[in-house]
């Protein structure tokens, strides 16, 4: 149940909800449900930790295979049909045949991508809650605060606790959109869709240095934004502003600066650059927005693979830690009516979950190595037993006369 709301300002109010403290059986039922969720998360963590080792090995093997096969086309790449269906590396400048434009705002850029980001001035609701015990009941005091902000997504004011006086429009007058050049070339080659998707070095289009003429009379330019209002510094709810950004400069004479240089590793098929399927199982289709040698490209990919491997290991351990805590929560529920014992059990369960999650995570990773890298695991095992062998060989057993 909720009490009547109390106001502490024109755009802020509080609401207090009251809930009877749950009984022992109710708490036990809730904990049991959490236990089942914890068991599910536990098996999910094992899956992540185990399969991550296989993924890391497959990616590393694919990168080593790619480096052994790649053909570097040199500083001035040319179309050589002898490299058909082979993995090639090249560094060259981006080129697009036609500029991208937005006719509504008369924006024209020579780039691979042009993004129109739209924001609307809207009401935003913030909630801050705190719980406290009073007369054997749990009370929750929630403070609702309403501010006006520029937001790129629609905020549905119907979900507000107090919609009156804080209503937002139901739609934006202009939509956010990203335009991509239909054909992007690098040297004599046409880039695949997968390579173009990796060009995301977006930069804000400066309207101060960019000539925009014959604007709509209801448009105003201020701080690199097009404002659909005559008063950009005093916006009202429902006002819209638009900002443009671009990625992959592709014209030498462009006012955006020199064309961007990219380094690519992909399969050549005629003048097309395509994904390359390795025997190890991965697909190689790599792009970096800088000039790199083939060795540097593959080294960066190895670094990313190592970072991803350790990131998934950490995520798997954290998931296992949470799952064990949820599974053992039922023990805390059984003793939470004794204050001293409750605190001791809470600390003990956290320590237990930490120790068990660390041990099981290492065991799961070790099992992954044993499954995916049996020879490496066997070599490490033999290396671990080597000191024992030397100790036994150094102290022969004496025979009785």
Convert the pLDDT of each residue in 342-360 to its tens digit.
667 667 778 888 888 888 8
Which parts of 329-368 are beta strand (E)?
A: none
Convert the pLDDT of each residue in 102-138 to its tens digit.
988 889 999 999 999 999 999 999 998 887 777 667 7
87: enclosing H helix or E strand: strand 86-96
State residue 296's pLDDT score: 96
Contact assessment for residue 78 and residue 186, using Cβ atoms and an 8 Å cutoff: no
pLDDT for residue 13 is more than 90: no
Contact assessment for residue 236 and residue 177, using Cβ atoms and an 8 Å cutoff: no
The angle formed by the CA atoms of residues 348, 350 and 352, to the nearest 5 degrees, is: 65
Residue that wins the pLDDT comparison between 384 and 183? 183
Residue that wins the pLDDT comparison between 346 and 271? 271
Q: How many CB atoms lie within 10 A of CB 398?
A: 6
Residue that wins the pLDDT comparison between 391 and 156? 156
The gap between the terminal CA atoms of the chain, to the nearest Å, is: 92
Average pLDDT over residues 222-235: 89
What does pLDDT average to over the chain? Answer: 84
The SS3 call for residue 76 is coil
State residue 289's pLDDT score: 95
Alpha-carbon radius of gyration of the chain: 31
pLDDT for residue 175 is more than 60: yes
> Of the ranges 11-25, 125-139, 193-207, which one carries the lowest mean pLDDT score?
11-25
Strands 71-72 and 86-96: parallel
Convert the pLDDT of each residue in 86-98 to its tens digit.
999 999 999 998 9
Which parts of 135-254 are beta strand (E)?
A: 137-151, 177-180, 184-186, 189-190, 203-204, 220-222, 225-227, 240-249
Q: How far apart are CA 49 and CA 62, in angstroms?
A: 20
Q: Of the candidates 140, 98, 104, 87, which has an alpha carbon nearest to the alpha carbon of residue 285? A: 87
Q: How far apart are CA 113 and CA 242, in angstroms?
A: 16
pLDDT band at 36 (very low <50, low <70, confident <90, very high): confident
Number of helices and strands in the chain (H, E): 6, 20
State residue 337's pLDDT score: 55
State residue 129's pLDDT score: 84
Provide the Cα torsion 285, 291, 297, 300; round to 10°. Answer: -110
Q: How far apart are CA 179 and CA 111, in angstroms?
A: 10
Convert the pLDDT of each residue in 313-338 to its tens digit.
999 999 999 988 888 776 666 556 55
| Contacts of residue 300, Cβ cutoff 8 Å, sequence gap at least 6 | 288, 292
pLDDT for residue 309 is more than 50: yes
**Which stretch, 165-169, 251-255, 332-336, has highest mean pLDDT?**
165-169
**Which stretch, 24-38, 186-200, 203-217, has highest mean pLDDT?**
186-200
Q: How far apart are CA 251 and CA 248, in angstroms?
A: 9
pLDDT band at 392 (very low <50, low <70, confident <90, very high): low
Q: How far apart are CA 154 and CA 172, in angstroms?
A: 8
Residue that wins the pLDDT comparison between 220 and 121? 121
Q: How far apart are CA 131 and CA 21, in angstroms?
A: 12
The angle formed by the CA atoms of residues 173, 178 and 182, to the nearest 5 degrees, is: 135
Q: How far apart are CA 387 and CA 374, in angstroms?
A: 21
State residue 401's pLDDT score: 43
> Of the ranges 26-35, 293-302, 318-327, which one carries the lowest mean pLDDT score?
26-35
Q: Of the candidates 376, 369, 331, 373, which has an alpha carbon nearest to the alpha carbon of residue 352? A: 331
In this structure, what token pair is assigned to residue 319? Answer: 């998931």
Q: Of the candidates 285, 282, 281, which has an alpha carbon nearest to the alpha carbon of residue 88? A: 285
263, β-bridge pairs: 91, 288
């Amino acid at each position: 149940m909720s009490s009547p709301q109390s106001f502490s300002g024109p755009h802020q109010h509080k609401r207090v909800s009251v809930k009877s403290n749950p009984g022992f059986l109710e708490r036990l039922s809730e904990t049991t449900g959490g236990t089942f969720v914890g068991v599910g998360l536990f098996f999910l963590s094992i899956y992540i930790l185990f399969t991550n080792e296989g993924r890391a090995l497959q990616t590393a093997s694919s990168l080593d295979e790619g480096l052994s096969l790649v053909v570097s086309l040199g500083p001035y790449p040319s179309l050589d049909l002898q490299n058909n269906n082979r993995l090639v590396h090249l560094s060259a400048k981006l080129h697009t045949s036609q500029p991208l434009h937005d006719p509504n705002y008369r924006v024209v850029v020579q780039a691979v991508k042009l993004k129109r980001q739209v924001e609307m001035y809207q009401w935003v609701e913030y909630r801050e809650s705190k719980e406290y015990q009073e007369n054997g009941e749990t009370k929750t005091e929630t403070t609702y605060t309403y501010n006006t902000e520029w937001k790129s997504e629609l905020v549905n004011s119907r979900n507000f606790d107090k919609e009156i006086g804080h209503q937002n429009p139901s739609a934006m007058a202009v939509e956010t959109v990203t335009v991509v050049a239909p054909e992007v070339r690098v040297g004599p080659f046409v880039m695949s869709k997968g390579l173009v998707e990796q060009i995301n070095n977006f930069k804000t289009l400066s309207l101060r240095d960019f000539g925009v003429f014959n604007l709509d009379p209801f448009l105003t330019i201020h701080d690199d934004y097009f404002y659909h209002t005559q008063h950009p510094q005093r916006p009202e709810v429902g006002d819209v502003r638009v900002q443009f950004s671009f990625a992959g400069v592709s014209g030498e004479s462009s006012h955006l600066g020199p064309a961007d240089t990219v380094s690519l590793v992909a399969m050549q098929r005629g003048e097309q650059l395509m994904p390359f399927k390795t025997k190890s199982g991965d697909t190689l289709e790599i792009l970096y927005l800088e000039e790199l040698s083939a060795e540097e490209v593959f080294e960066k990919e190895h670094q990313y693979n190592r970072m991803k491997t350790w990131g998934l290991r950490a995520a798997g351990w954290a998931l296992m830690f949470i799952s064990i805590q949820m599974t053992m929560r039922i023990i805390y529920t059984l003793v939470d009516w004794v204050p001293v014992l409750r605190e001791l059990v809470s600390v003990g369960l956290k320590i237990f979950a930490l120790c068990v999650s660390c041990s099981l995570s290492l065991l799961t990773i070790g099992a992954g190595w044993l499954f995916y890298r049996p020879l490496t695991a066997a070599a490490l095992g033999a290396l671990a037993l080597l000191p024992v062998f030397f100790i036994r060989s150094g102290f022969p057993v004496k025979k009785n006369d």
